[in-house]
Amino acid sequence: MGEKQKVIVIIGPTAVGKTKTSVELAKLLNGEIISGDSMQIYKGMDIGTAKVKREEMQGIPHYLIDIKEPTDAYSVAEFQQDVRSRIDEIASRGHLPIVVGGTGLYIQSVLFDYHFSDSGKDEEIRNSLEKKSEEIGFDKLHAELAEIDPKSAANIHPNNVRRVIRALEIFHTTGKTMSEYQETQQHEPLYEVALIGLTMERDVLYDRINRRVDMMEDQGLLEEVRNLYDKGIRDCQSIQAIGYKELYAFFDGKVSKEQAMEDLKQNSRRYAKRQLTWFRNKMDVTWFDMTDGDFDQKLSQIFTFIAGKLQLEANK
């Protein structure tokens, strides 16, 4: 194998400033950006997923945004394939791929030699698990997984039935838990990677998350979600996203609007905390604290790190 392709990956919790940082780095390094977020793939889900706006892109190409309908499923395996082919495509133009995202497992699947192929797959087992989930309910199926594989169960939301079923399917097919199965697959990274993590003091981050949710409401989040709700889109992967499920509860008459917005803030804060924990435990990240206001200084530090790590020079 020849030299590995150089790739920059920028991760971090929601609202930490990944969009701005990635666009500025792309301008400096002749880069193009691939979204590593498992929800920004969906069309018509712009405000709630904090999708990068046209003007924020500043002319930098962005990929894997708006590629699926909200009713479509999207697996980690598809994501892995999509991102890798975009990396090759960007590199073939002599540009630098920059993957930006918050979905840990998705990012990991791209960088490491994960095989989502046929091992651990068995249609018969999967069908019987799907039937079982309808009979006993999502929570009981998740509880079953928690007994067999507490580690995976802790990382999979009970409503994410597809992943619960997948984890059980792997166990019944290979005799290994999903965690064990994944650990046996983590070899060398496939790329020469500069893996940057952006972080922030918790109080500052939480305050930014709360303000971002208020801003989303001002930008028309309720109308966006109502539009999906009125189309009868429910019980699918996209609607499990934070920002959508809370407002569905409001439209269903289960909670008040105020309560739904409060739940949305709380779930976003919890998600940010989970994201940070996941990245710290699972990946070799170089962290940059974005708490203090001097963005240009931070950008310069990040650039210096990347340039040193990947032997790159700035765009003239």
> Beta strands 96-101 and 286-289: pairing type?
unpaired
- 242 and 99: one domain? yes
The phi, psi pair for 158, rounded to 5°, reads -55, -30
The verdict on residue 315 lying in a domain is: no
**Predicted pLDDT of residue 99:** 97
What mean pLDDT, rounded, does the chain reach? 89
What's the Cα-to-Cα distance from 276 to each of 123, 244, 294, 314, rounded to whole Å? 35, 22, 22, 29
Mark which of 161, 183, 205 sits at the end of a domain: 183
The verdict on residue 1 lying in a domain is: no
Burial of 253 (0-12, 13-18, 19+ CB in 10 A): exposed
SS3 12: coil
- 306 and 241: one domain? yes
Lowest mean pLDDT across 11-15, 196-200, 224-228: 11-15
**Structurally, how many domains does the chain consist of?**
2
- 37 and 160: one domain? no
**Predicted pLDDT of residue 116:** 60
- 159 and 250: one domain? no
Check if the beta carbon of residue 38 is closer than 8 Å to that of residue 104: no
- 20 and 82: one domain? yes
263-266 long-range Cβ contacts below 8 angstroms, 24+ apart:
264/213, 265/209, 265/210, 265/213
pLDDT per residue as tens digits for the range 128-182: 888 888 888 888 888 999 998 888 888 888 778 888 888 888 888 777 888 777 6
The verdict on residue 300 lying in a domain is: yes
Q: Which domain holds residue 228?
A: 6-114+186-310
SS3 236: coil
Distance, CA of 150 to CA of 155 (rounded, Å): 9
The verdict on residue 245 lying in a domain is: yes
The verdict on residue 51 lying in a domain is: yes
CA dihedral 6, 58, 45, 270 (to 10 degrees): 60
The verdict on residue 258 lying in a domain is: yes
Distance, CA of 264 to CA of 279 (rounded, Å): 22
- 299 and 167: one domain? no
- Closest among 80, 56, 73 to 64, alpha carbons compared: 80
CATH number of the domain to which 67 belongs: 3.40.50.300
**Predicted pLDDT of residue 96:** 97
Check if the beta carbon of residue 97 is closer than 8 Å to that of residue 7: yes
User: 138 Cβ partners below 8 Å, 6+ apart?
Assistant: 158, 159, 161, 164
pLDDT per residue as tens digits for the range 25-64: 999 999 999 999 888 999 999 999 999 999 999 999 999 9
Amino acid identity of residue 16, one-letter, is V
Calculate helix-pair angle for 18-29, 295-310, nearest 10 degrees.
50
End-to-end CA distance of the chain: 31
Q: What angle do CA 39, 133, 130 make, to 5 degrees?
A: 75
The verdict on residue 316 lying in a domain is: no
pLDDT per residue as tens digits for the range 173-183: 777 888 777 66
Instruction: Give me the sign of the Cα torsion angle 39, 40, 43, 49.
Output: positive
Distance, CA of 160 to CA of 199 (rounded, Å): 27
- 193 and 49: one domain? yes
